[in-house]
A and B are shown apart, each in its own frame.
Chain A
């Protein structure tokens, strides 16, 4: 099991939530003090540098026009970290391909980071979330098709070394493609793609890429990972290794339960501050009509309204407790999911102090991470998947097993 440390780089110093309709897309940037933003950027970069020193991977992402994430250009953050870190693999998860009109520019940026970091880039591609549509001025209709066409162009740009080639697809056209530099890693950096359903997992598995799932929890994880494993087996004739699947959750490790509860409650800012007006949650063509209709009724997918720590822990979206408890929670989820080889932890959000974020990062690295590595090392992917398939469906964790006092 490899672990990755992630923060969204939020700007938490906001007015009363009742004073604005949406934290995303339309929150006026009069509320953004550039001086505070600068301090935050530098604090977050320090935390990523600490992850490098502790031996955990680094993950960055981007969102636009939102206080939940101040990184509208993840390649810039990763470019800084490529220079400032020494060892960590650098995961960008990811480049929102359908919202970027020049895939060749993405290929260039990623090659540059790969070269500066001497081959430490792990390159993720994502379709992007619905709120990004207005900010990018891009219709999300056929976003998945656009993602894969942009992907094809980027892969060809990375792996063509004999001068310009021509690309005239349905969505992207570029007649003289010849990127400088070319990537350090040959034939190209590892590719990750996010998956939201068994169907979207299929092409990811067929390409043999790392399929990443964010916060799907107990209710959806098996169908998505199962879709990946089936497609991987069909395409490659062997079971998917653990390292082809990744799961992201919020995670706080404390020395004791009180400390863990406090830290995890701070992390919950990420979900609780996500007040988004209905129109930004549901741009035309992002969801198929039945799902879009559900969003209009207020019961669609995405982060639930008024999420609580207890509920999100039970769903497998938050792991929190002492090192023993966090290991037990992740292990139970891992077994239920059929196994995965990358644990991405969101370890900072809201007003969580740097000291507390660091403390959790250290405890995770020292006391949880080694056991997770051991878990995947001694397990056989096909057997774990088989055992998972035999388990009855569940919507939430068996909380009693964790002995976590604050999960009531």
Chain B
């Protein structure tokens, strides 16, 4: 789909009320089993952040705002209304920024192990530095069961190139300030739709305490902690994840 002059990859599946799904640091998730279940109830619209999964980073893109405005335009272009906005990880940051600007086309916001704010002091490493760890350590940070992430040595050349490209795009969107916008907490009071946080309990990137701190920044927001899951509860505990999301959405 052409948007802002960019060839934007958008996966669409299912039918029902609209669900805009923004993926996280690991790349697109629309092909996963949890999404298939969600597609029974929703029309899922899942864009690929430019630069991920083999797509190009537009020359003028260099920060998270570029994604925020891209998806605000996407909501307008598709004339989506009463949309359930679901953001995972870095996609949660994008979603929270969007909702702080306008909730006109949104009904609810679900944030899954989302980054985007700083909850601690300046000396606290709230968000693990993904660019400062080995591939092995990365798997331990991201997953309750690190074997969910194949080692670099076990990947095909093409897979590894995609991982490398995703990592570059992640750097472009999140490098500095790292994975957060210092201004966002002061803007979250504008989010007046229902907000629900969902959190893998053993996340090594952003802890449950971080999630609670983030949750407390949005008036009325609630939170579900999902056990035996890390940064991606939708992958490690798809059924519990979908149950919790459907409970929030209904």
Listed in ascending order, the chain A residues whose CB lies under 8 Å from chain B are: 134, 137-139, 141-142, 277-279, 283-285, 287, 289-290, 292-293, 296-297
Contact = CB atoms under 8 A, between A and B. Distances in A.
Interface stretch (B14-22, B92-100, B152-160, B183-191): B152-160
A284 B175 contact: yes
Interface of B is mostly: helix
Contacts of B152: 296-297
Interface stretch (B74-82, B141-149, B162-170): B162-170
Interface in B55-108: 62
Interface stretch (B132-140, B204-212, B227-235): B132-140
B171 A283 contact: yes
Given A284-B168, A289-B164, A297 B153 contact: yes
Contacts of A283: 131, 171
B172 interface: yes
Nearest to A142: B62
Interface range, B side: 20 to 34
Given A139-B175, A141-B171, A284-B172, 4 more contacts: A278-B135, A289-B165, A290-B161, A296-B163
Contacts of B165: 289, 292
B163 A279 contact: no
B124 interface: no
Given A139-B175, A284-B170, A284-B175, A279 B164 contact: no
A284 B131 contact: yes
Specify which of A134, A139, A284, A292 lies most central, judged by the most chain B CB atoms within 10 Å of its CB.
A284
Contacts of B62: 141-142
B123 interface: no
Contact of B133 (A138, A279, A292, A296): A279
25 contacts: A134-B131, A137-B176, A139-B171, A139-B172, A139-B176, A141-B168, A141-B171, A141-B172, A141-B175, A142-B62, A278-B135, A284-B167, A284-B172, A285-B168, A289-B162, A289-B164, A289-B165, A290-B164, A293-B163, A293-B164, A296-B152, A296-B160, A296-B164, A297-B153, A297-B160
**Which 3 pairs between the two chains have the least Cβ-Cβ distance?**
A284-B171, A292-B164, A289-B165
